[in-house]
Chain A
Amino acid sequence: MSAQDGSAARALDTAATPVLHAVGVHKSFGTLEVLRGVDLTVTAHEVVCVIGASGSGKSTLLRCSNLLERIDSGTIELFGHDLGNERIDEDLVRRHTGMVFQSFNLFPHLSVLDNVTLAPRRVLGLARGPAEQRARELLSRIGLADKASEFPERLSGGQQQRVAIVRSLAMSPRLMLLDEVTSALDPELVAEVLDLVRELARQGMTMLIATHEMGFAREVANAVCFLEGGVIVESGSPERIFSDPSEQATRRFLQRIVEAGRL
């Protein structure tokens, strides 16, 4: 078991290749074409923010990246491996790729500590002791050590989302996919979650972030992609995208954001 795991981990760990490399990705749900040829590259220790209106395909792009959805055509390479290859083990893909959802999706029947230790114990085969020790370390780093034995429903939204992030981190992922992680939060709780994400970025975590928080994207991203109608209309450095977008569509989108008082 462990030897097999080791070789699998090595197989995914080829240096100097992009962490995520998507080319011409198409994805439809029934007759609705959500992604219509998306190209995207995320290199190691880079933070890429995907912005765009609701329904533009941001979530779908993230969900295709850890095989929660299968793409119709194009290729997505993760750590240098084509996810379309039939020998790809989707459980291994997800083990190395953390995903955080808009609605937290903590397991309501498990305590905070058990939420964080479930995957390390059941997937990595860690014993309860070491798994809990690591979980407590992570929880104390986000100031929630005293909540370890609480159930998720007793935490605030912001606390739940931070636990959800820590739950992903407990698997030591090489790539984090954050799907509008602050969109379900009350405004006063957004900051504590963004602070944690900022901290991850500072530590060099590779992240692909779908977000509506433009100020945050501008501050934390190495690159920003504007997604509209299932294609990436424009991408570049946050300074350029937010200050001097070259595309009409990007300008229109940002204008609406400014008018809504969100930038």
Chain B
Amino acid sequence: MSGMDGGRDINPVPARPDEAQSPRIGVDEWVASHEARRQLGRIQKELERIPRPGFYLAFAIGAAILPLVTSDGYIIRVGFDTLLYMLLALGLNIVVGYAGLLDLGYVAFYGFGAYGYAMLASPKFGLHWSTLAVIPVVIVATAILGFLVALPSRRLLGDYLAIVTLFFGQLFVTVYQNGQAMSFLGFSRQYDVTGGPNGIPAVDNWNAFGATISSLRGYFYAALVVFVIALAAVYLVDESRTGRAWKSLREDPLAAEMMGMPVNRLKLIAFAFGAAIAGLAGTLFAALNTAVFSADFDVPTLIIVYAMLILGGAGSLGGVIIGALVVNVSLEVLRTPDHATWVFYGLLFVTLLVRLRPWRVLATVLGGTIALGYAVHAISSAFWSRGVDGTASVGGWLGGGLQGWVLHPSNPQTIGNVAFVLLVLAVLWVTTLRGWWQKLALIPTLYLTAFVWENRLVVEPSITRLILVGVILIVLMNARPQGLLGSARVEIV
């Protein structure tokens, strides 16, 4: 970037005696020595010596053990969903993380794969193809579709690709939702292609070589095998000439073109490759659920996959695994208010523990919040008895403590909504403050957070999860754009 402040001084005078020797920030030499300057702990150094596939293998073994230690169908189901999301995030990682293209129609390819499987292996059209035949057909068809979608915007800026794909995703949902009576221009005969709002039911199970997968556990292992194969494929591509070309394209398309890379072709390949993986994930999804509905492939799914990718760090394969795991498990935990409350306060506490230093500050903020809570509670029970009539969201000692600390009005909807808006404003306000004022402002904000959580958020888990996904995207992009595992980009100024 050619910022105004990036220009060199006309008459460079070293500010420190040693400045002339040490490379200056942003200069090529400094960038080149970036890796060496990273401060690594001892454990981290040891970990760095393990080749990356070792981690993937460890993950695969860990995942494979899961169904052996538990027979709880719910946990295995969550594990299956997580693997499916990992597969989706893996495909999106190619498009967004490697090639740097913003693909907002990604879940449409997922849906296309799911519908493709459902059409070729269900009573809908009387086709019952073998899975080994369906999967290659679906992968190729999705890749071609991805290629065609990206084609009109190939000579344009990346922003146009975002618009075309976003609209394509919307179009996909509309068409599949209304596909029960397709007619061609001028012909009155109507065809039921997608089942419309009823979707396609009674989809066949996966089957190969005469065996059929019908149990949840079987699907878990199928998903794991598919994911590991896809991961290996992406890893190999990542290390190949094409993978390096993608990353150079992301860093600087112009320089890449100057080096003789076929920029447009590389973009199209990345797009089609990502789409193909989404299509593959779709076949698994359709087979396990034995039915497909277009509503499953709408914007919320897209945003969740993006949140996973961003959290883990776009461009990092390990990040894909971690991001999908963290986001999907957190979203599952939010379904039950009891667990959600524990996790919520735990996370809040850990965040404060990490962010507030030294301990005096932490003690002041925590003590202040607790004191404020009891004071407010005492005042309320004296003058506004309705404010303490409700019950806490969780039982046990935590619930008991919360009961006497946070206000629980008997009919909290309206006041909770007002408090939610106030909370958003308060959090934004706190981010603008500095020093002790910020710490002091944090005290009422924390109490307000607890109040909103107890009275509003925990009551509406399905909306709360989506709000949190939005917050994850905003906060991460502003605070740590490289995600958990991505390394910070060093740019030459």
> Do they bind each other?
no
**Residues in chain B within 8 A of chain A (CB atoms):** none
